[in-house]
């Protein structure tokens, strides 16, 4: 799961599979992941979400006031805040915004005015990170959360292990950095424990995990509760990944850190990434619709996204295809392909390559497409500027060729198709 810096190296061949099947999972935005963690009783920093600088300033003022009320009057200090650009990519802190050169998609602020300035530099701008490539990702929303001191940073994740077909817990005492880097530099720091679908971990496995994370025995109950909550979230939401990085260990809750109390260690999810299996879309429709709305808003609200770029255009085409339940993957410039059956589609792409050409896309109609859906598929290829010619390769079987003909006629009547069609 490459978006968001998930532990790709620990997935075996999962990363390669996902590169070939780009729509096999749904990545949630950080604020959406944090909301789900809250719903499952996982401690997260207090946060607000904003989509304009004015909203951000107002939200920051309200959040600081809420945090101040938790402090003793004689010891009140202005709470620090963190502003995070909400894009589906990792490395945000080291990234930059394409339009204005603003550095860092994660900013620490001490006042609502500073939050306003950070929001103005981030919103409706394109964030470029090591994971986005040069095209970048448009930031349409920011997350504003409380800043607090961490005694230690840990790593915790649950993934669906492709080899065993069951959830796998991955943990490390070295959090706050890329898990891939840890796997390379210090693989012994990573602990993997097989989980079940009905229960999280046995008592022995929990104790083994506690020792690996170097947590005190008094943290055992809290760790058990956290693992149980994450496991319930993983199962109930059909997740492929639930990742917390970093998992913060604090001496006291963030809102009480200025109080002189006996230290009480607590675990907080400071950042989270969730991925959901798209085969479960019918069960998790609210999540898919929420992400789709966020991406659509980014397309509409940002001039840079509307103007284009290959990445923005490809994302728009894939989103339109997904709405019509078409198996579509944008590849690059070349021949626009409309084929029924994944095997025939890949064979067609190979033959084009063999003859010195290239396929602009993978588009599988499947066996249940009717004329209106076929017309929509043709309209999709018509709108792809990188596909100057269209190639239809249909094997008559489950899908009737007369339906293909009807769809072609319908598309020609409703939309003028000026591209050659073979």
Residue 286 has pLDDT above 60, yes or no: yes
Instruction: Please say whether the beta carbons of 98 and 90 come within 8 A.
Output: no
Q: What is the pLDDT of residues 124-170, one digit of tens each?
A: 999 999 888 888 889 999 999 999 888 999 999 999 998 888 999 99
Measure the CA–CA gap between 128 and 362, rounded to whole angstroms.
27
pLDDT at position 205, please?
A: 95
Q: Which residue has the higher pLDDT, 296 or 293?
A: 293
Interval 377-392 mean pLDDT: 87
User: What is the per-residue pLDDT for 20?
Assistant: 36
The 10s digit of each residue's pLDDT in 197-229 is 888 799 999 999 999 999 999 999 999 999 999
In 3-state terms, what secondary structure has residue 358? Answer: coil
pLDDT over 80 at 76, yes or no: no
Please determine whether the domains at 1-40+149-307 and 321-414 fall in the same fold group of CATH.
Answer: no
Question: What is residue 414's predicted lDDT score, i.e. its pLDDT?
Answer: 81
CA 378/CA 359 separation, integer angstroms = 15
Report the predicted TM-score, pTM, of the whole model to 2 decimal places. 0.75
Mean pLDDT (whole number) for 93-97: 94
Confidence tier at 64 by pLDDT (50, 70, 90): very high
- Residue written as token pair 């923005």: 312
Report whether the peptide linkage leading into residue 246 is cis, meaning its omega lies within 30 degrees of zero: yes
- What is the pLDDT, as a whole number, of residue 99? 93
Identify the three-state secondary structure at position 338. strand
Report the C-alpha gap between 113 and 158 in whole angstroms. Answer: 38
The pLDDT of residue 371 is 75
Question: 241 versus 75: which is more confidently predicted?
Answer: 241
Helix axes 220-236 and 203-212, enclosed angle (nearest 10): 110
Among residues 37, 84, 93, which one has the least CA distance to residue 269?
Answer: 37
Q: How much is the average pLDDT of 91-115?
A: 95
Of the pLDDT bands very low, low, confident and very high (cuts 50, 70, 90), residue 5 is: very low
Q: What percent of the chain has pLDDT over 90?
A: 51
Looking at the domain 46-147, which fold is it? Dna Ligase; domain 1 (3.30.1490)
Q: Does domain 321-414 have CATH number 3.40.50.261?
A: yes
Q: Is the pLDDT of residue 322 over 80?
A: no
> Is residue 255 scored above 60 in pLDDT?
no
Within the chain, how many helices (H) and strands (E) appear?
A: 13, 18
Query: 25-39, 257-271, 337-351, 357-371: which has the minimum mean pLDDT?
Result: 257-271
Q: Domain-by-domain residue ranges, the chain?
A: 1-40+149-307, 46-147, 321-414
Mean pLDDT of the chain: 84
Distance CA 87, CA 30 (A): 8
Structure tokens at 90: 């990792």
Separation between Cα atoms, residue 172 and residue 392, nearest integer Å: 51
Which pLDDT score is estimated for 98?
93
Give the mean model confidence (pLDDT) for residues 359-369: 80
Neighbouring residues of 366: CB distance < 8 A, sequence distance ≥ 6: 327, 340, 341, 399
Tell me what the mean pLDDT of segment 375-394 comes to: 87
Spatial CA neighbour of 357 closest among 381, 333, 383, 331: 333
Residue 412, pLDDT above cutoff 50: yes
Q: What is the dihedral of CA 146, 102, 319, 141, to 10 degrees?
A: 30
Q: What is the DSSP string of 148-198?
A: ---SEEEEEEEEE-TTTSSEEEEEES--SS-HHHHHHH-GGGEEEEE--SS
> Do residues 244 and 271 touch, judged by C-beta distance below 8 A?
yes
DSSP letter, residue 64: H
% of the chain with per-residue pLDDT over 70:
84
Among 27-36, 190-199, 240-249, 364-373, the minimum mean pLDDT is found in 364-373
What is the SS3 assignment for 137? Answer: strand
Would you tell me which CATH number, out of the four given (3.40.50.10440, 3.30.465.10, 3.30.470.20, 3.40.50.720), belongs to the domain 1-40+149-307?
3.30.470.20
Query: Residue 129's closest CA among 96, 106, 161, 102?
Result: 96
């Amino acid at each position: 799961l490459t978006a968001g810096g998930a532990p790709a190296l620990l997935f075996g061949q999962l990363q390669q599979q996902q590169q070939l099947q780009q729509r096999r999972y749904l990545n949630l935005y950080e604020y959406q992941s944090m909301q789900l963690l809250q719903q499952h009783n996982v401690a997260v920093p207090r946060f607000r979400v904003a989509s304009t600088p004015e909203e951000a300033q107002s939200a920051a003022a309200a959040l600081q006031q809420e945090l101040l009320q938790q402090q003793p009057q004689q010891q009140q200090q202005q709470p620090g805040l963190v502003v995070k650009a909400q894009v589906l990519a990792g490395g945000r802190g080291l990234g930059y915004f394409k339009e204005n050169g603003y550095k860092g998609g994660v900013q620490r602020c001490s006042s609502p005015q500073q939050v306003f300035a950070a929001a103005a530099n981030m919103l409706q701008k394109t964030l470029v990170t090591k994971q986005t490539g040069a095209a970048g990702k448009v930031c349409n929303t920011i997350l504003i959360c409380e800043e607090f001191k961490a005694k230690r940073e840990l790593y915790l994740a649950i993934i669906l292990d492709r080899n065993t077909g069951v959830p796998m817990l991955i943990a490390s005492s070295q959090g706050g950095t890329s898990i891939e880097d840890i796997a390379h530099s210090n693989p012994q720091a990573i602990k993997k424990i097989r989980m079940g679908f009905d229960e999280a971990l046995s008592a022995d496995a929990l104790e083994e995990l506690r020792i690996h994370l170097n947590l005190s025995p008094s943290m055992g109950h809290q760790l058990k509760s956290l693992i149980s909550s994450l496991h319930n979230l993983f199962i109930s939401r059909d997740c492929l990944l639930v990742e917390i990085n970093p998992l913060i260990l604090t001496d006291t809750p963030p809102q009480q850190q200025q109080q002189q109390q006996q230290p009480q260690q607590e675990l907080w999810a400071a950042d989270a990434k969730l991925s959901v299996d798209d085969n479960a879309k019918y069960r998790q429709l609210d999540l898919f619709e929420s992400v789709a709305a966020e991406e659509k808003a980014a397309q509409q609200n940002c001039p840079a996204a509307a103007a284009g770029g290959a990445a923005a255009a490809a994302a728009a085409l894939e989103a339109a295809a997904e709405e019509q339940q078409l198996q579509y993957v944008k590849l690059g410039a070349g021949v626009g392909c409309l084929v029924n059956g994944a095997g025939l589609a890949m064979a067609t792409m190979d033959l084009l390559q063999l003859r010195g050409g290239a396929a602009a896309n993978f588009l599988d109609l499947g066996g249940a497409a009717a004329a209106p859906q076929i017309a929509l598929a043709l309209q999709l290829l018509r709108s792809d500027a990188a596909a100057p010619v269209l190639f239809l390769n249909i094997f008559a079987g489950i899908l009737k060729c007369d339906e293909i003909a009807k769809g072609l006629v319908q598309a020609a009547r409703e939309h003028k198709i000026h591209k050659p069609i073979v």
